[in-house]
Structure 1
Amino acid sequence: MANLHFELVTPEKLLLSEEVHMVVVPGTEGEFGVLAGHAPFMSVIRSGELRVYSGPNTVSARIQVEGGFAEVNEKGLTVLAEAATEIQA
């Protein structure tokens, strides 16, 4: 199973940089999932919950993001969020 390189960045710091299975991002046009090999893509994100999956059915992190941008390229997914706070289970 291929992994996706994911980075979550705020103006203050790099919050996450890891290999994951999938990330579900709250886009302005609706949520979208990103897996390894996804086509290049850019989107504005809305305030909402970003979910990080370490496996097909395993959510490893839930993060409240406040606006920003998401970019998918050949290197992986980068989310540039205005603010981000991890949601405790």
Structure 2
Amino acid sequence: MAGKLHFSLVSPERELFSGEVDQVDAPGSEGDFGVLAGHAPFMTTLKSGRVKVYDNGRTLGFDVQGGFADVTPDGLTILAEQAVEVAL
């Protein structure tokens, strides 16, 4: 599927990431999931774990401690209880 996904990762302190990416993998409370452009809308809670962001051959990582993920036709927004960028 062609196209980019708009992704935003927000913690109570600040917005850690916002931009167009190829794919995002996240730790859902009912199982890990991946989102590409055009994904069906859904909302889920997150467990503690790593969010991986893939774009043009590079990968970014963020450790999150709970929160929510909301996939809409406009993209993916993660509202994390705590989040920090990590080196992969």
Q: TM-score, normalised to structure 1's length?
A: 0.92
- Give the residue type in structure 2 aligned to 1:78: T
Q: Following TM superposition, where does structure 1 have runs of at least 4 consecutive aligned residues deviating by more than 6 angstroms?
A: none
Show CA shifts across 1:8-67 (max 9, x none): 001111111110000001001111000000011000000001100104xx3420110010
Q: Number of residue pairs matched? A: 87
How many Å apart are 1:74 and its aligned residue? 1.1
Residue matched to 1:77? 76
Q: TM-score, normalised to structure 2's length?
A: 0.93
Q: Report the RMSD for the aligned CA atoms in angstroms.
A: 1.0
Specify the SS of the correspondent of 1:12. coil
Q: How does 1:22-33 map to 2 (within 5 A)?
A: 22-33=23-34
Residue matched to 1:62? 61
- Percent sequence identity is 52
Contact 1:6 1:17 in 2 (8 A): yes
How many Å apart are 1:3 and its aligned residue? 0.0
Note the residue ranges of structure 2 that are not aligned, 5 or more in a row: none
Q: Residues of 2 paired with 1:33 and 1:73: CA distance?
A: 14
